[in-house]
Amino acid sequence: MPESPSSVTEVRDGLGEVGYLADESAALVSFLAQRLGKPILVEGPAGVGKTELAKALSRSTGRDLIRLQCYEGLDEAKALYEWNYRKQLLRIQAETADEAEAGWAGARGDIFSEEFLLTRPLLEAISSPEPVVLLIDEIDKTDQEFEAMLLEVLSDFQISIPELGRIEAKTHPLVLLTSNNSRELTEALKRRCLYLWLDYPEIERELQIVRLHTPELDETLARRLVEIVQMVRQLDLKKPPSIAESIDWARTLLLIGAEDIDRKTFEDSMSIIVKHRSDIDLVSERVTVKLSAGSEEGVTGLPGAGA
């Protein structure tokens, strides 16, 4: 077994070193998952760092990241393994031409060997000689049948291939499943997992994240940006801005060399944090008016504006 972390702090610091600022629960659940060898089911609004958590865990543990992006209609062939049909065909053609006498029997044995196997993410994660991080992203997009198959793989850590026999895991992957809650997952799957709810970060942590991604951005400006984003999130929007959008916005401000977020800067760049037409209207109506008209006056009406 690979060395597992000895404390929550160790995990949090490790994630921090690779650029992921985990909150209390993310660090604890990541720690538990490694100690107990259980998968993590991560849910939360879009763009709060679900996928990034898996990537960061891979970086901090030095394990490879294997990612299975789910989509509607994803099947075993794309998730587990598939025979390389084209290659098999070529081999058969080549053989029958060259050594016609060898016949079918020989060819059959040959073409169902590992050489012709296309390993897909699940098989790859199971058969890897080094332990990996396996990210199964947006599991809610698949159907229950797929979930059942997955559950089997995750409980037995083995996959049997009729033509080849059973492939047993040499190491246990650290598994993260993310879901955007588009459907209810089965009880059985949930039961096997530790549950992590990731939410929008509170202000100080978001500020740290933004500063981490855009260290060149002036601190006061970064704080103002995060304050505005947090304010926008409290409106009733179709799609509230996520951490990803805060970061994008910070980058943009840096790019256009903004010194303050006054009304004009905001109007020019707000489409980065709000996308829907109706959201933009609402934000204009409720937030833009709180910003000062010109940069000389400073921002009024914002929380902590003077502080």
Ligand X SMILES: Nc1ncnc2c1ncn2[C@@H]1O[C@H](COP(=O)(O)OP(=O)(O)OP(=O)(O)O)[C@@H](O)[C@H]1O
For Mg ion, give the closer residue by CB, 51 or 96: 51
What track of x and - describes contact with ligand X for positions 237 through 256 (by CB under 6 A)? ------xx--x---------
For another protein, give the closer residue by CB, 2 or 303: 303
CB-CB neighbours of 63 under 10 Å: 19
Determine the residue with CB nearest ligand X.
49
- Compute the least distance from the CB of residue 211 to another protein, in Å: 17
- Compute the least distance from the CB of residue 23 to ligand X, in Å: 7
Angle at 127 between CA 123 and CA 132, to 5 degrees: 95
For another protein, give the closer residue by CB, 25 or 113: 25
CB-CB neighbours of 278 under 10 Å: 11
DSSP strands (E only) in the chain: 40-43, 64-69, 81-83, 117-119, 132-137, 158-161, 165-168, 174-179, 194-197
Q: Which of 236, 195, 169 is nearest to 33 (CA)?
A: 195
Dist. CA 5–CA 2, nearest whole Å: 10
> Binders of another protein among 199-238, rule CB under 8 A?
202-204, 230-231, 234-238
**Is 197 among the residues that bind another protein (CB under 8 A)?**
yes
User: Which of residues 4, 51, 180, 288 is near Mg ion by CB under 5 A?
Assistant: 51
**Could you tell me the end-to-end alpha-carbon distance of the chain, in angstroms, rounded to an integer?**
51
> Binders of ligand X among 190-209, rule CB under 6 A?
209
Q: 222 to each of 10, 23, 199, 251, how far by Cα in Å?
A: 28, 20, 20, 10
Angle at 127 between CA 125 and CA 128, to 5 degrees: 65
# of chain residues touching another protein (CB under 8 A): 38
DSSP label of 270: G
For another protein, give the closer residue by CB, 93 or 155: 155
For ligand X, give the closer residue by CB, 63 or 263: 63
For another protein, give the closer residue by CB, 65 or 302: 302
- Compute the least distance from the CB of residue 52 to Mg ion, in Å: 8
Dist. CA 163–CA 228, nearest whole Å: 59
User: Which of residues 10, 18, 37, 52 is near ligand X by CB under 6 A?
Assistant: 52
CB-CB neighbours of 91 under 10 Å: 16
Q: Which does 196 bind (CB under 5 to 8 A by kind): another protein, ligand X, Mg ion, none?
A: another protein
For another protein, give the closer residue by CB, 102 or 188: 188
Q: Which of 52, 50, 60 is nearest to 14 (CA)?
A: 60
- Compute the least distance from the CB of residue 106 to another protein, in Å: 50
Residues at the site binding ligand X, with contacts judged by CB under 6 A: 19-22, 46-52, 180, 209, 212, 243-244, 247
Residues at the site binding another protein, with contacts judged by CB under 8 A: 8, 24-25, 28-29, 31-32, 35-36, 38, 41, 43, 181, 184, 187, 190-191, 193-197, 202-204, 230-231, 234-238, 286, 290, 301-304
